[in-house]
A and B are shown apart, each in its own frame.
Chain A
């Protein structure tokens, strides 16, 4: 029977559309949420800790786990080799002879890559065991920036990706060549969009168990979907899908896409459980999360537009280089293709050329993050609009207006294949300007500028896609490859409604909420269908792949809850209501179609006295199934699988409707930049949303505000930073800065509703849009304030210094600083000077005497001489309370006795590694007195670099200063008590 998707219950003023209190909150506010780390584990559960690579790129020469295995409480140690024996490679999303393992096998390719797993009685012992695992790495050159990865001679990550290129596809829609040839203007932008991540408060968690009798895995993980990844995990674990039971906990402490990335760890911990013969639990800690969870992609984009005199864009030419990090992990390169239908944004541009390249670099692999590909598109596109206005002397608003998709064109097929479902972009824009106080903002800017302050206004117009087409990712394949692979498309949503013998209603959806409030909204939707109160509806949202109805599209991603999942629940409830109506019709002697479900009763409006209680009616199928009319199917339980017909596979012209729904956002803001500090103050932020029908205004405001906060972080604070040598520089939240309540002003949120004709409830997604619109809106305002052409995120005050303060006059006294380090070295450098009471020859003799040299090296033990000029030692180095043991090697070279020598050294230990070279010069200044000068460069990586980046330079100076001070002290034959004074001397000069 066909359903009229837009038929409503007789009671129009229902629960949907009201901001009712969230049913989730009572537990959460009282600390009774049930997150993965709160749940009890099976008896005998052991705990895992993961040893991670300190190197961006290195061969693993040897892993010695014997000492770790011998430690008390340690049950197993898993290395890449053992993992490889029990699993298959994760699938890779492009056709290439490349493998993707969840642990390093013989080579590490990013800082944080898992190298070994220790399983022990508790996490403390497991971490102790990690300290006892010895890994010998042979460092390889690393590549960090996407353009560098494509350069000739760049270090190669995977043999199967020649030139580090994982995919290179070109597309053409309309006639871009003709448009560019005839257009009066060609205007472009170049953008290096940085990396950031959404940083949920709850990190990854996995509890895994292996049943050898059934050869089956049972996994509890705070995975968010899409459940297409279930197939990826089962394949990797070499079991059929029905032998990987995957469950999710009742509550999740946020995801924003990130919890999709737990899946490689599911494979690792499942194998660890199999090896240990016990259930194994692993909760990711914050440092692991920042180094090893998942990041959004960084992207290098060149965007050109062919532009008419009036600002109309006749064609776009995109050249995108997507950086997916060290491995192309499922579902990448989806970030690049999620927006493929939307490459023209909110604009009616018919001619488009696109070149999409995907590269691998020595950084954390990428995956789902709020906005997923949107921020990377809209930053160049909306910067372009701003540049067109500046170049042609137009009002940026006029450039936007002249290019928007016209209201009468919906549903509108974009050049690249998206079908924009509904909207009136121009009306929404004008409403935003009017209701958002745009005229006042212009006046504030004029006033501020008259006072000599730096004030700018920015704009952004974006289309926010939601309910992604499972097939869009296949746009990365050629049409011929797609034909061979078979069509992939659609966006299935699943919901089950069940009635129990007491006549109460339960709802289950295959969605896995991450804190959004799905249970509340589903209560509203289903209560409206049955004429009940939301409190009467119990909603269960945890998933169990062994018992629940689900599909590969299940999960919580691409803003699909309101448009797809809530709609599926509405369909299931409506089908059940129709059956109940036919049962009631017999009992009430009425026609099914005239019955009304309201106030807990079912009745005919003409005769309200003749009613049956909903609970009684709903229980009929349990207590008196034989009384049901013969042609009525059981009214006990209904599962709806909803799939929209609009989401076809990409066609042979590479056109793809990459998402079902398209909301519209128009933002504008005023921002002021402090002349002295470069601090950016958002004066006013207005964000207009058309997200279709609003089911719960309070939650929509929450989503918009949360997306805005994430976007503000991306604009002003957040960047997952790597040094040129691939060192991770943002290993803690002291360096990876996320906005707090203090930093997030409240945006003015406006709405303009055009319901989607393609979704059961008319709703569209709303959770991601501001991550797409806000970063570029703020950047446009700052560019306007400072008159900048080129502007890159994040907008660090320090980076604005050049624009604000002009060229810096050189130092009055100082000679030039040492030249910067060789490419790829994130070097520290320094120099020092001291005078010691010894002749140069005495000092020289000491340098070549291993016993005395040993005493010079701070904290050295077990010094061994390898040959004339090379020494090996164990050293303990430290600054303040930070102390670690390292293997050290020291070599002397370029000997020019007794005048100068080069000292090279390397250290390697659990806290990290370092390499340094110093040139030491000795000059006599008296018969028994020598002036000793040195300069050095050093590179430091590993844990200390990730945690203490801001202190490293000073720390290296202290340690190198210790070395030379000690050298001077030894040479002078002074007692150690004098070292301190010498040390101070060095410190001042160093």
Chain B
């Protein structure tokens, strides 16, 4: 478990990093917290010729909250966001999901954008991003663009990021009045990859349930809140096309979508009511 030879570049600025990515082509990888990449390096699953370390680019190490959106820079560690003052008030779903990301030790190293870049199908942060309709801010040497989370995750560990692009930040809408949130994850042990994870958002546009760990990417669906809910959820469970693996059968995953999905959806609706009462009062 020793990595193959690679070159290491500590980028001083975003531009410096982008230039290195451009030069490196497919052989360069960004390293931030390294919680996914380093194990892949030591197992020699990944053999990039160049690692571009962005953790010393101060411009990337910031969280911005402009009232409408919360923007998390590429250098922000998961634990830093988790312990940010008032996070639960500004975006409750993020605050609910972050404690489920790995373990406290890995969150102290791992970054929010790194988890998004890695696009593991069981990861919590991509799920939250999809549930909230978040955006991924991409930048290369010659352009900057934003893509929605839905567009960004194109497959298991495959994203819309081009090889010369850096995820500069991700952003999610801040809490909006009249919105309820809920999150829950089922895994074998706390901190393990989710067998199924659920994030629900209830607002004036309806009830959205996003499911991670079942399909190749997190999938979000608007569900009815009337008596059609059960059938719609069952259809969702089947459409996710769950597969068997070592830890859970496809059938068990569908059952979790039906049962825990229902609970999480209901919790978001209750949360919406509770917040409406608070806001009204």
Contact = CB atoms under 8 A, between A and B. Distances in A.
A958 B155 contact: yes
Interface string A699-717: 0000000000000000001
Nearest to A949: B246
B260 A677 contact: yes
Nearest to A804: B255
Interface stretch (B1-9, B63-71, B165-173): B1-9
A442 B120 CA distance: 45
B188 A127 contact: no
A717 B247 CA distance: 9
Interface of A: 123-124, 127-128, 131, 285-287, 676-679, 717, 721, 729-730, 732, 734-735, 737, 739-740, 742-743, 796-799, 801, 805, 808-809, 811-814, 879-884, 910-911, 943-944, 947-951, 953-955, 957-958, 961, 980, 983-984, 987
15 contacts: A128-B4, A128-B5, A729-B246, A739-B189, A740-B189, A796-B248, A798-B247, A812-B234, A880-B119, A881-B45, A948-B45, A950-B193, A951-B157, A954-B243, A955-B157
Contact of B40 (A730, A809, A881, A953): A881
B37 to A, nearest CB: 6
A983 B235 contact: no
A737 B46 CA distance: 24
Contacts of B243: 953-954
Tell me the dominant secondary structure on chain B's binding face: loop
Interface in B102-148: 118-122
B281 to A, nearest CB: 34
Contacts of A676: 255-256, 259-260, 263
A285 to B, nearest CB: 4
B238 A881 contact: no
Given A742-B190, A984-B154, A805 B45 contact: no
B72 interface: no
Given A717-B189, A879-B156, A801 B251 contact: yes
B15 interface: no
4 nearest CB pairs, A to B: A880-B157, A954-B156, A798-B252, A881-B46
A954 B155 contact: yes
A238 B208 CA distance: 71
A677 B186 contact: yes
A950 B245 contact: yes
Contact of A743 (B45, B156, B189): B189
A911 B44 CA distance: 8
B59 interface: no
A813 B5 CA distance: 51
Nearest to A951: B156
Contacts of B81: none
B256 A954 contact: no
A546 B231 CA distance: 75
B189 A742 contact: yes
Given A676-B260, A801-B251, A949-B246, A813 B216 contact: no
Contacts of B235: 812-813
A881 B28 CA distance: 10
Given A811-B238, A947-B43, A958 B256 contact: no
A268 to B, nearest CB: 19
B8 to A, nearest CB: 14
A676 B11 CA distance: 49
B37 A721 contact: no
Interface string B211-243: 000001000000000000001001100100001
B188 A955 contact: no
Contact of A814 (B2, B192, B238): B238
Nearest to A961: B155
A743 B246 CA distance: 19
A851 B48 CA distance: 29
A361 B200 CA distance: 47
A913 B247 CA distance: 23
A879 B217 CA distance: 14
A124 B3 CA distance: 7
Contacts of B160: 980
Contact of A730 (B5, B37, B246, B260): B246
B62 interface: no
B249 interface: yes
B154 A980 contact: yes
B79 interface: no
B245 A124 contact: no
A285 B263 CA distance: 43
B247 to A, nearest CB: 7
B47 interface: yes
A976 to B, nearest CB: 12
Contact of A286 (B1, B192, B248): B1
Given A739-B189, A953-B245, 7 more contacts: A285-B1, A677-B186, A735-B247, A801-B251, A943-B43, A980-B160, A987-B154
Nearest to B254: A808
Interface string B268-280: 0000000000000
B30 to A, nearest CB: 10
A389 to B, nearest CB: 30
Contact of B157 (A737, A882, A947): A882
Contact of A881 (B4, B48, B248): B48
Contacts of A814: 238
B157 A735 contact: no
Nearest to A128: B4
Of A128, A677, A805, A884, most buried by chain B (CB within 10 Å of CB) is A677
A984 to B, nearest CB: 6
Contact of B238 (A717, A813, A950): A813
B255 A805 contact: yes
Contacts of A944: 45
Nearest to A828: B243
Given A128-B5, A678-B252, A287 B190 contact: no
Contacts of B47: 883
Contacts of A801: 249, 251-252, 255
B77 interface: no
A287 B255 contact: no
Contact of A287 (B1, B5, B195, B245): B1
Contacts of A958: 155-158, 216
A947 B235 CA distance: 32
B238 A797 contact: no
B192 A737 contact: yes
B231 A812 contact: yes
Contacts of A796: 188, 247-248
Contacts of B256: 676-677
Contacts of A957: 155-156, 216
A104 B248 CA distance: 34
B246 A882 contact: no
Nearest to A675: B259
Contacts of A951: 120-121, 156-157
A117 to B, nearest CB: 15
A450 to B, nearest CB: 23
Given A676-B260, A677-B260, A808-B255, A911 B45 contact: yes
A753 to B, nearest CB: 36
B2 A949 contact: no
A958 B159 CA distance: 12
B192 A734 contact: yes
B216 A987 contact: yes
Nearest to B190: A742
Contacts of B40: 881-882
B211 to A, nearest CB: 15
A679 B189 CA distance: 10
Contacts of A729: 246
Nearest to B250: A817
A737 B192 CA distance: 9
Interface in B153-206: 154-160, 186, 188-190, 192-193, 195
B48 A124 contact: no
Contacts of A943: 43, 45
Contacts of B245: 949-950, 953
A812 B254 contact: no
